[in-house]
Amino acid sequence: MRRKTTGVRKRHSRRCGSHLDRRCDCKPTWEASSWSRRERRRVWRTFPTEAAAKAWRRDAEAALEKGTMKATSTVTLRETAEAWLEGVEDDSIRNRSGDPYKPSVLRGYKRALKQRILPDLGGVRLSDVRRNDVQDLADRMIAEGCDPSTVRNALMPLRAVYRRAIARGQVAVNPTTNLELPAVRGRRDRIADPQEAAKLIAAVPVRGRALWATAMYAGLRAGELLALRWSDVDLAEGVIRVERSWDVKAGPVEPKSKAGRRAVPIAAALRDCLVEHKLAQRRSEGLVFGRTAERPFNPSSVVRRAKTAWQSAGLNPIKPQEARHTFASLMIAAGVNAKALSTYLGHANISITFDRYGHLMPGNEAEAADLLDAYLASASARAAEVRSDSSPPHVKHDEAMNHATEEAARPRPLSEEGEYP
């Protein structure tokens, strides 16, 4: 009786001893196949391991049912990646949020593809890149000592290329999914408390003091600080309007996301610094933090001068991103709700705020129980008050008399002289 095929089978070389009922002396491969009802033909691929073959077949079955499995294309990964980069550059291809890619992100993607991905896989046909190929690439990076976050970031443009290829029907299987990648270790960023933040700001040279105050008291990103103009700062209303960011090579650019355009309140401590800075700068137009009205400070120089000043003052230096974290922690400590904080930080959604700063937000099991008890008690009190107000006069009189009787019968504490008060 012929054995029913499972769609995955082992293949030995022609000279393998297994064909003569002897022990296998070759390196077998695994062939996976699936029948396409739409195209009325069998689609098949060969893999080095059984697991890879089964994984491809599962994905292929789903793709064939949807009609997204196409005939094998001769286009290579390099050609597809280069076309994708061109689309990103001219804004015809955007990220999953529908926003253009930032110039700095595009530069990072180009570097990752050129240095990490394409040298090994660029000449392979787009549909022939397998999961184990990408996994081997990631494993080599780890063996070379790359940080887990570096490995993940290097694979991000490859993931984007294949997401688009699948959406356009160029391939049926995404080889960048279900990879075994090392977990990114949680970083413990430095956060300054209110007193330390004030000392750090005061120790910075006058020219850069307002910039660090805006970072710690308004939470602007480094690029947003460099692009900030006096027309965006309303000292009378107490609001900073973030409208753009600054890229060191591209100049002024759109904010990181649509949520990047936002209004941030100006605290009194920040207002004093901005007023002092504006008077010293002697201009009310152009860039707030710039060598000229249209030429921003050099970001590395800003950090270097501040670090030198802090070390001279015996203070622990802080980075621009850590200054932003300090703003978030101060707002949380002040009782600002998570939704408002997410808006002030320019996060695309509130889950980013919770993921990034949830550990700073007050609340534990005991505190949560106390809050719930307090709410239930107040709700019960309000309900009792409503019932009391709606009771007939004689019922209210009886309740009052009963309460008075209970109070009179309750034992009273003795005073220090041993008498009842």
pLDDT score at 415: 41
- Per-residue pLDDT at 70 exceeds 60: no
The stretch 173-199 carries a mean pLDDT of 86
pLDDT band for position 382 (cuts 50, 70, 90): confident
The CATH architecture one would assign to domain 194-360 is: Orthogonal Bundle (1.10)
pLDDT score at 16: 82
pLDDT score at 365: 58
> pTM for this one?
0.65
pLDDT band for position 323 (cuts 50, 70, 90): very high
User: Between 151 and 363, whose confidence is greater?
Assistant: 151
Alpha helices in 114-259 (DSSP H): 118-121, 131-143, 148-167, 194-203, 206-218, 222-227
Question: Which has the closest alpha carbon to 57: 7, 132, 129, 9?
Answer: 7
Phi, psi (deg, nearest 5) at residue 144: -75, -5
**Side-chain-facing half-sphere of 86: CA atoms under 13 Å:** 6
**What are the pLDDT digits (tens) for 92-140?**
998 887 888 889 899 999 999 999 999 999 999 898 898 999 999 999 9
The stretch 227-252 carries a mean pLDDT of 94
**What are the pLDDT digits (tens) for 12-63?**
877 787 777 778 878 888 888 776 665 566 666 777 788 877 877 777 776 6
Residue 63 burial class via C-beta count within 10 angstroms: exposed 0-12, middle 13-18, buried 19 and up: buried
**What are the pLDDT digits (tens) for 243-274?**
999 998 888 988 877 889 999 999 999 999 99
> Rounded to the nearest 5 degrees, what angle is found at the Cα of 47, between the Cα atoms of 46 and 52?
130
**What are the pLDDT digits (tens) for 303-312?**
999 999 999 9
User: Between 165 and 417, whose confidence is greater?
Assistant: 165
Domain map (residue ranges) of the chain: 8-66, 77-167, 194-360
> Rounded to the nearest 5 degrees, what angle is found at the Cα of 215, between the Cα atoms of 212 and 217?
100
* Torsion-angle region of 337 (φ positive above 0: left; ψ -120 to 50: alpha; else: beta): beta
pLDDT score at 413: 46
The stretch 143-152 carries a mean pLDDT of 90
The stretch 69-88 carries a mean pLDDT of 82
pLDDT score at 186: 62
End-to-end CA distance of the chain: 103
Write the single-letter amino acid at 45.
Answer: R
* Torsion-angle region of 373 (φ positive above 0: left; ψ -120 to 50: alpha; else: beta): alpha
The total number of residues written for the chain in this structure: 421
Task: Please state, rounded to an integer, the average pLDDT across all residues of the chain.
Answer: 83
The stretch 333-352 carries a mean pLDDT of 91
User: Between 373 and 289, whose confidence is greater?
Assistant: 289
pLDDT band for position 414 (cuts 50, 70, 90): very low
The CATH architecture one would assign to domain 77-167 is: Orthogonal Bundle (1.10)
pLDDT band for position 367 (cuts 50, 70, 90): low
Strands 41-47 and 29-36: antiparallel
